Amino acid sequence: MAEQDRPQITLITPPAIDLETFPDRLAAVMDSTDIACVRLALAGKDEDMIQRAADACRLVAHARDVIIVIENHLLMVDRLGLDGVHLTDGARQVRYVRKELGPDAVIGSFCGVTRHEGMNAGEAGADYIAFGPVGATPLGNGEQVEFDLFEWWSAVIEVPVIAEGALTLELVEKFSPVTDFFGVGEEIWLADNPSVALKALMAPLG
């Protein structure tokens, strides 16, 4: 697969991270595999915890010249020196967030399995669209994004697209010709060695 056609990797953090150990685990993964973007997908409402986690991950990412975005917490982007925000509610806020953060911020939009929502988010100014889950998962309502959506998107739409959610080796192989990025998170963090797990998962990319 030609280098320019090879999908890149967005690394998604776990919803809760141990500040004693996770920054080193993140650094080890980033030192073993080229990562295009880190996405902070932190759950909970503890503002102090989220800020400390974001600070720690930002230091790791920026030391390696990798951009870092945070899910939904728009107000933390400038405050914490992050590169942008990943919105999880489709196209709804994209235009507003672009106005708030300005032209240089990275704005991503998760659009589930819905082509129309993805097109709306792209037209509203999103830098990338994420669709998922591509694999079978008990989370959510059981819907999976169709391969046809990615195939159509890659042929017709210029906005970069991320395939994510319950990835397997077989799905990476299948979707690699039609996606710009793979969003990888839960698939590797439960492993004893996330770096090895990521390399194994991404083996079809060569």
Beta partners for residue 32, in sequence order: none
Residue 127: the pLDDT is 98
Residue 4: the pLDDT is 53
- The fold of the 3-205 domain, in CATH, is TIM Barrel (3.20.20)
User: Are the beta carbons of 119 and 157 closer than 8 angstroms?
Assistant: yes
Q: What is the mean predicted confidence (pLDDT) over 87-115? A: 97
pLDDT in tens, 130-185: 999 999 988 778 899 999 999 999 999 999 999 999 999 999 999 999 999 999 99
Q: How confident is the model at residue 70 (pLDDT cuts 50, 70, 90)?
A: very high
Q: What tokens were used for 152? A: 């159509």
Residue 153: the pLDDT is 98
Which is nearest to 147 in space by CA: 128, 161, 126, 137?
161
Residue 48: the pLDDT is 95
Other beta carbons within 10 Å of 60 = 21
Q: What is the mean predicted confidence (pLDDT) over 46-70? A: 97
Q: Is the pLDDT of residue 31 over 50?
A: yes
Q: What is the 3-state secondary structure (H, E, C) of the chain?
A: CCHHHCCEEEEECCCCCCCCCHHHHHHHHHHHCCCCEEEECCCCCCHHHHHHHHHHHHHHHHHCCCEEEEECCCCHHHHHCCCEEEECCCCCCHHHHHHHHCCCCEEEEECCCCHHHHHHHHHHCCCEEEECCCCCCCCCCCCCCCHHHHHHHHHHCCCCEEEECCCCHHHHHHHCCCCCEEEECHHHHCCCCHHHHHHHHCHHHC
User: Are the beta carbons of 12 and 162 closer than 8 angstroms?
Assistant: no
Q: Is the pLDDT of residue 3 over 50?
A: no
Q: What is the pTM of this model?
A: 0.96
Q: What is the mean predicted confidence (pLDDT) over 191-198? A: 97
Residue 206: the pLDDT is 84
Q: Is the pLDDT of residue 16 over 50?
A: yes
Give dist(CA 32, CA 199) in Å, integer: 8
Which is nearest to 61 in space by CA: 80, 48, 88, 43?
80
